[in-house]
Structure 1
Amino acid sequence: MNTKTILIVDDEQTTRQGLKKTLEIWSNGRYEILSAADGPEADELFNKTKIHLLITDIYMPEMDGLKLLKNLKDKGHKPVVMIVSGYPDFEYAQEAIRLGVVNYLLKPLSKQKLIEAVEQAMEMEANIERTDYIEKVADQKILRIDGRNDLSKTPIKEALAYVNNNLNKQISLKEVADFVHLNSSYLSVLFKEQTSLTFSEYITRKKLQLAKNLLLTTELPIEEIAHETGYQTAKYFIKLFKEFEGITPSKYRKSSMNESPF
């Protein structure tokens, strides 16, 4: 599990060090706490590491807090952002909200208020990552089928459960038909009629959903993931994955690195 990172940006050294010390004591090693004296230094840190929560001052020389946020947004960085400022500037607050800032705290602030705000921000960050993760892994067609209640106590519901419990194996239509006591041809027609997917497409989509989960949450080699999803050869698994996802499993894993909330 990767340690998440909090970055404090403030040109006042005493304030910066005080915030850092407070959060290090509170964090007790759960998070990495970094600090920067200005916008350009913060910008450099973003280029080197993934920042999950940014706590920044507004008024700073060379690059103020809002300009920093705009630069980060233009570069595709999406940290959760809190502002800690000594000035209750309404226009700045409005602009901060437009840029997605989740909290605007005024100095001086108590340790308790800071910690409460940071805890809320990290909870929000975790929810955002979890949502992004689900969207990245989930197959919308599978979600629609899994969410249906009208299939309960039907042969198709039993067939789906059998498939879902045996994704690490090669599964045939006849095998499932025998399990639900139906003729293979009839099961095939009924399956397509009730799920809008062919039997083979459902199995493939479920296996690839499992594969994506393993790619994002484990360091298993591609060959082992192919085996875990019931494919005899990695070559066939990679070919199938690319057909459905548009990229190879390795590229999928690389492009999604550090985005899983687990």
Structure 2
Amino acid sequence: MKTILVVDDEPRTREGVRKTLEAWSSGRYRIETASSGVEALVWLQEHEANLLVTDIRMPEIGGLDLIERLEDMKNPPVVIVISGHPEFDYAQKALKFGVVEYLLKPLDKAKLVQAVELALQREEKIHRIERMEKLVDPKLMETMEHESAYSTPVREAIRYLDEHLHESVSMRDLADHLHMNASYFSVLFKEQTGLTFSEYLTKQRIQRAKVLLTTTMLPIAEIAERVGYQTARYFVKVFRELEQVSPGQYRNNVKDSAEIIQ
């Protein structure tokens, strides 16, 4: 269950926001409160919030100071700022810190709910991007970005491998397919992509496996077969060497249950 943390030193506002969001969420979200920036930081050390709704002016640690300290967190929440003062400087600084919305008191309940829905959509989008980044090997990403600059044989080799990952493909097989000398092709491929043929093939197979692990419920053995490994044991060994976890652990760590295809 996602969590919304409401921070305000004014009890009336704090409770008003809490009650409004609890009525709106109907149990879909956990609504927590803190009466100061200090209390919020203590809470955030032990818990994780998806959305922070905070007042600007509070004693000891104000809203902007609180937001700035969130940058050191592993998974910082998205933020909505509420304030009784429409100062331009405050609003400008809030936007600089990536605040989703700046709401003025007295709060309009409909605008509050609208801002919260927008913020949670932003939070979900951020997490989706982060999950996709975990799927993509940085070196493969670099290779794809420069693909247009490669020679025709190397581009054709990359396309061929993408289409035949499930098959047993050797460098000599691919060189023969391209009507090239295997030794020359090996040097050309490494020179342009920065990866040996074997490194590229392995990374692409594990990349494809990561997508299958996080978007389907296929058994590990079937995934191994689909990405060109004859035995699940060897697939698990190679996967662990590249990702430092087993395929099963990777699936549990990264998958989004809402995106699983049963």
Structure 1 and Structure 2 fold alike (TM over 0.5) = yes
- Counterpart for residue 20 of structure 2: 18
Number of residue-to-residue matches in the alignment: 251
Deviations 1:48-85 (A, max 9, x none): 7x643333456799x98779868977764422122334
Contact 2:215 2:255 in 1 (8 A): no
Listed as ranges, the matches of 1:209-220 within 5 Å are: 209-220=207-218
Residue aligning to 1:239: 237
Q: Which runs of 5+ in 1 are unaligned?
A: none
Q: Tell me: CA distance 1:41–1:194, structure 2 relative to 1, closer, same or farther (3 Å).
A: closer
Offset of residue 236 of structure 1? 1.0
**Secondary structure at the counterpart of residue 228 of structure 2:** coil
Tell me the CA shift for residue 173 of structure 1: 2.0
CA separation of 1:74 and 1:234: change in aligned 2, threshold 3 A: same
- With the length of structure 1 as denominator, give the TM-score of the two structures: 0.71
Match for residue 161 of structure 1? 159
Which amino acid in structure 1 is aligned with residue 20 of structure 2?
A: G
In structure 2, the partner of 1:249 is: 247
**Are the equivalent residues in 2 in contact too, given 1:173–1:184 (CA < 8 A)?**
yes
Cross-structure match for 1:142: 140
TM-score (norm 2): 0.71
Judged with a 3 Å threshold, the aligned counterparts in structure 2 of structure 1 residues 78 and 221 are, in CA distance, closer, same or farther, namely farther
Structure 1 residue 159, shift from structure 2 partner = 1.1
Change beyond 3 A, Cα 1:24–1:75: same
Q: Secondary structure at the match of 1:170?
A: coil
Amino acid at match of 2:236: I
Pair 76,193 (structure 1): closer, same or farther in 2 beyond 3 Å: closer
Of residues 106, 122, 125, the one that matches 2:123 is 125
Shift of 1:163: 0.6
Q: Deviations over 1:198-253 (max 9, x none)?
A: 11111001111122223333343433332222212222112112222233333333
The residue aligned with 2:31 is: 35
* Distance in 2, Cα, partners of 1:217 & 1:44: 34
**Contact in 2 for aligned 1:177/1:187 (Cα 8 Å):** yes
Work out whether 1:105 is the aligned partner of 2:103.
yes
Cα distance, 1:52–1:93 mapped onto 2, change above 3 Å:
same
In 2, the alpha carbon distance for the partners of 1:51 and 1:15 equals 16
Query: What do you get for the CA RMSD once the two structures are aligned?
Result: 4.0
Q: Check the 8 A contact 2:140/2:204 in 1, yes or no.
A: yes
Answer with 81-90 or 210-219: which moved more: 81-90
Which amino acid in 2 is paired with 1:150?
Answer: A
- Higher relative contact order, chain-length normalized (CA < 8 Å, sep 6+): 1
CA–CA separation in structure 1 for the residues paired with 2:58 and 2:166: 56
CA distance in 2, matches of 1:228, 1:93: 52
Q: Which moved more, 1:224-233 or 1:176-185?
A: 176-185
Report the 3-state secondary structure (helix = DSSP H, G, I; strand = E; otherwise coil) of the residue aligned with 2:150.
coil
Identical pairs, percent = 43
Tell me the secondary structure at the aligned position of residue 105 of structure 1: strand
- Matched-pair contact (CA < 8 Å) for 1:53–1:121: yes
Cα displacement string for residues 158-216 of structure 1 (whole angstroms, at most 9, x for unaligned residues): 11001111222322223322332333333223222222211111100111112222333
CA contact (8 A) 1:43 1:68 kept: no
Quote how far apart the aligned CAs of 1:146 are.
1.2
The unaligned stretches of length 5 or more in structure 2 are: none
